[in-house]
Amino acid sequence: MSIQYLRIKGGTPLQGEISVSGSKNAALPLICATLLTDQECILKNVPDIADIQTLLKIVKFLGSEFTFENNTLTIRTEKILKKPIPHEYVKGLRASILLLAPILVRNGRVQLSYPGGCPIGKRPIESHLHGFKKLGAHISQKNDLITLTSDPSLIGAEIVFPEASVTATENILIASCTAKGNSNLKIASFEPHVQDLCKMLNKMGAKIRGFQSPFIHVQSVKKLHGVTHSVTSDYLEVGTLAAAAAVTRGEVRIKKTPVDQLDILWQKFEEAGVPFKLDGNSVTILPYRHKLKPITKLKTGVFPAFPTDLQAPFTVLLTQAKGVSKVFETMFEGRLGYLFELEKMGAKIEILNANQALIIGPTKLRGLPIASCDLRAGAAMVVAALCAKGVTEISNINYIDRGYENLDVKLKKLGADIERFQV
């Protein structure tokens, strides 16, 4: 298998305009939700990234027919074939767990091996199984196979999740729309991608209310129909590109920005002293000459707190702040690993424990060969390389390609000295 890597020469302030792609974490559940109906569904603004291609390979295997061109997916699943999904398909994609709901609803039975995903920590599925059990599904687990059955059908219920889980909320939303009886989800996630899923399900005929809060009401309906829906922009890509613009002290306008999904990022930019301008659905990061200010505590949490998926890219910025910032990653115990790579580049970091670290700045970063250990850590390495003096080579960029559409092409358009190589 060929190895791809990025070579970046840092120090160039990014300049210009760029549009972000559709959200990976919205497109994945939306595609799974289209399996609920045998009618045609059209999804626009779908990012053409590795995770989407992997999911499309799985749904094709299950009998979906689709075309996917120019970020538009036209898909129809007349019936879902009753055959086990190959282990290697599921292993490569955490979001494959979102297939449990539509297959169970359509076929009354589903079997799936435990999902894969980034090595950022334990990825529990208890919240998923808890929700399905409450809806009356029978669950059996043998080796690493999960089997759910629902005879004759799922029953609406009051579901209090053991903790807020994005994909568990999405699975139970998909499963409960046509259950017999209404459902109330409590301690539900309501990240922008969960909200986008609810909007599309409602356009398919579902009756979901309260999805801008942890208390979501699902009124039972008989059947769902086809839909045309445009995937919400990727607020995580906005945050990543904004951090890249800020760390290079450039001037970049990011279009198709869902401004209202990033209140906490604008607050942290203000705290750090990054100048920016919001107008309509774009943000412009402005150039500056002053030293950035440290962030007392960059604490991640469930929406609307600071997104865990932006923690790594944003922390690179903190290496340039004058003073000590504290990073508190509350969600994943393995999501600070990239700090060791940052240290190699010259950052001054004190790891307090698996979830907390102090970033002492400002420090000059210097380019050198580094590896990306997960999707968002890989993006953070790109941000660091853009800031570093000299050339950085980033390997394992397959992680980055899982979640960012043409990140290197977008950065090159903004003037970055970045090349993709294949050996």
Q: Which residues are catalytic?
A: 118
* Residue of 43, 131, 403, 404 interacting with ligand EPZ (CB under 6 A): 403
Q: What is the rounded distance in angstroms from the CA atom of residue 212 to the CA atom of residue 191?
A: 8
CB of 376 to ligand EPZ, least distance (A): 5
Are the C-beta atoms of 338 and 313 separated by less than 8 Å? Answer: no
The three-state (H, E, C) secondary structure of 272-312, written as one string: HCCCEEEECCEEEECCCCCCECCCCCEEECCCCCECHHHHH
* Residue of 59, 90, 118, 349 interacting with ligand EPZ (CB under 6 A): 118
**Residue 64 vs 372, nearer CB to ligand EPZ:** 372
**For residue 365, how far is the Cα from the chain centroid?**
27
Q: What is the rounded distance in angstroms from the CA atom of residue 155 to the CA atom of residue 165?
A: 21
**Residue 178 vs 308, nearer CB to ligand EPZ:** 308
State yes or no: residue 165 binds ligand EPZ (CB under 6 A).
Answer: yes
Listed ranges 118-126, 171-179, 241-249, 288-296: which one lies at the site for ligand EPZ (CB under 6 A)? 118-126
CB of 181 to ligand EPZ, least distance (A): 26
Which of 117, 127, 126, 129 shows the shortest CA–CA distance to 90?
117
Are the C-beta atoms of 150 and 175 separated by less than 8 Å? Answer: no
**Residue 26 vs 388, nearer CB to ligand EPZ:** 26
Site for ligand EPZ in 172-211 (CB under 6 A): 189
Q: What 3-state class would DSSP assign to 19?
A: strand
In the numeric block, the tokens 């909320």 are attached to: 169
At 152, phi and psi to the nearest 5?
Answer: -80, -30
**Residue 101 vs 168, nearer CB to ligand EPZ:** 168
* Residue of 234, 251, 309, 405 interacting with ligand EPZ (CB under 6 A): 309
**Identity of the residue numbered 405:** E
Beta bridge partners of 9: 391, 417
State yes or no: residue 167 binds ligand EPZ (CB under 6 A).
Answer: yes
**Residue 172 vs 321, nearer CB to ligand EPZ:** 172
CB of 332 to ligand EPZ, least distance (A): 6
State yes or no: residue 308 binds ligand EPZ (CB under 6 A).
Answer: yes
Record the tokens describing residue 109, joined without a space. Answer: 């039975």
State yes or no: residue 332 binds ligand EPZ (CB under 6 A).
Answer: yes
Q: What is the rounded distance in angstroms from the CA atom of residue 298 to the CA atom of residue 306?
A: 8
Order of strands, edge to edge, in the sheet holding 282-285? 15-19, 251-255, 282-285, 276-279
- CB count within 10 Å of CB 363 equals 17
Listed ranges 53-61, 104-112, 165-173, 208-216: which one lies at the site for ligand EPZ (CB under 6 A)? 165-173
Which helix (H) or strand (E) covers residue 350, if one does? strand 348-353
CB of 223 to ligand EPZ, least distance (A): 27
CB of 52 to ligand EPZ, least distance (A): 11
Q: What is the rounded distance in angstroms from the CA atom of residue 203 to the CA atom of residue 229?
A: 8
CB of 49 to ligand EPZ, least distance (A): 11
Site string for ligand EPZ, 12-51 (x = CB under 6 A): -------------x--x-----------------------
**Residue 111 vs 330, nearer CB to ligand EPZ:** 330
Size of the site for ligand EPZ (CB under 6 A): 25
Q: What 3-state class would DSSP assign to 27?
A: helix
State yes or no: residue 123 binds ligand EPZ (CB under 6 A).
Answer: yes
**Identity of the residue numbered 418:** I
CA angle at residue 226 from 222 to 227, to 5 degrees? Answer: 120
Listed ranges 104-112, 225-233, 239-247, 302-310: which one lies at the site for ligand EPZ (CB under 6 A)? 302-310
**Residue 128 vs 229, nearer CB to ligand EPZ:** 128
Q: Which residues bind ligand EPZ (CB under 6 A)?
A: 25, 28, 94-95, 118, 121-124, 163-168, 189, 302, 308-309, 330-332, 375-376, 403
